[in-house]
Amino acid sequence: MNTIIVGLQWGDEGKGKIVDYLTASADVVIRGQGGNNAGHTVITDGTKFVLHLLPSGILWNSKLNVISNGVVLDPIGLVLEIERIEGQGIAITPDQLLISDRAHVVLPFHKELDAAREAALGDQKIGTTKRGIGPAYADKINRCGLRMVDLLDRPFAAAQITRRVAEANEVLARYDLRIFDAEQVIEEVYTAFERLRPHLTNTIAVLHAAWKSGKSLLFEGAQGTLLDIDFGTYPFVTSSNTTSGGSCTGSGLPPTAIDAVVGVCKAYTTRVGSGPFPTCDEGLSDYLHGLGREFGATTGRPRGCGWLDTVLLRFACMVNGVTGLAVTNVDGLDAYATLQICTGYDIDGELHTLPPADRSAWERAVPVYEAMPGWQSDTTGCASYAQLPERAQRYLARLGELCDAPIAFVGVGPDRKQTLVVE
């Protein structure tokens, strides 16, 4: 079974946990897009692991993990991440981790260009993580980026980096941001690259061989559908295709290789950064933050929290071809007596059941809610779906009905063991 796991909201849905859970029956775990702007948190036997570029399967001894061609890779950041995870007792060898030679490189000055772009936007800033992801993808599209394979030819790569540093410095000087020394950048990049060189290969050939031999492939999506460059709340989006199609173009495997798409969403809605958020609720945000929940794994920023928005989820299920829903953080709603589900938007007196493309329409979108009774009991100790309170089961059933997708998994806590399978 080859399965794509995608986020159905604005990221932070708990994909890392679902990937980690499904890795038990997978042979290969693949990251196909994004960069270290992603943050996947996995808690195993009480130990917390925060992953950014490394696929979640790296926490399993017997799995092959692949960072494939659609990823923009910060070699310095990846080395630091590997060292941190190894410091937690996880060995990372070339037998466990492969890196595509076609992956584009995030260079140190890309991060500062990210900051410059945000400064230029002023009040209209996107709210990026400033990890250099957008500028690296822009270089890729503009056909002036460096790929990991290019670093094998040091004279060529050094000349390209020198030219790009000069161009970047012209921009950075206008915003009083850090000015880079080309030789220093080259040395920093190559120090990291030499650490990663044993992992570098043609991952497309490796993945096709695994597919043809009948191995089980698990694709780990980063960010969420509503941050997709085509389908998200543009322009407040990331720079890659975060939907299921991005896993194919980002890995070199065709759609015919895919058997299932698991869409991950929270039992409520969260968002970090700028952009529209119709169901945002200050009371729910304060409550969840008070529990120590909903802070970004990558930035530490508090997330805005709101009621479940099935307008967005319905659309996300459509464009991803979701075959099963994984609903996480159900326990976050345990204390509430009444829950609200957004079933549509009232925009200028007209009911919309799908999100608008017109960016100005978001400012006039008024959520239409359906109230449901809460269960007001602790779900964290439930060991099966049948043990969930009846009202929790009704809430989940209504979610699936509104999204036209069956519930497959339910999360009632952060640990791997707190994942319930719906038969």
Catalytic residue (choose from 12, 20, 228, 331): 12
Q: Is the dihedral of CA 327, 275, 56, 2 positive or negative?
A: positive
Identify whether 348 is a catalytic site residue: no
Q: Which of 20, 40, 228, 281 is catalytic?
A: 40
| Integer Cα distance of 272 and 293 in angstroms | 13
Mutual angle of helices 75-87 and 182-196, in 10-degree steps: 50
Contacts of 127 (CB under 8 A, 6+ apart): 118, 236, 272, 273, 274, 275
Q: Which residue in 251, 294, 338 sits closest to 68, CA to CA? A: 251
285 CB contacts (<8 Å, ≥6 apart)? 294, 302, 303, 304, 305, 306
413's torsion region: left (phi>0), alpha (psi -120 to 50) or beta?
left
Q: Is 289 left (phi over 0), alpha (psi -120 to 50) or beta?
A: alpha
Judge whether 40 counts as a catalytic residue: yes
What gap in Å lies between CA 5 and CA 221, rounded to an integer?
A: 6
CB 117 within 8 A of CB 92: no
Structure tokens at 143: 């056909």
How many residues are present in the chain? 423
- Give the integer Cα–Cα distance in Å for 379 and 419: 11
* SS3 at position 355: coil
Distances (CA, A) of 365 to 87, 128, 283, 341: 48, 24, 20, 15
**Residues whose CB is less than 8 angstroms from the CB of residue 154 and which lie 6 or more positions away in sequence, other chains included:** 190
Backbone angles phi, psi at 45, to 5 degrees: 50, 40
CB atoms within 10 A of CB 103: 25
Helix (H, G, I), strand (E, B) or coil at 270: strand
CA distance 403 to 221: 20
Q: At what angle do helices 154-174 and 108-121 cross, to 10 degrees?
A: 30
Active-site residues: which are they? Answer: 12, 40
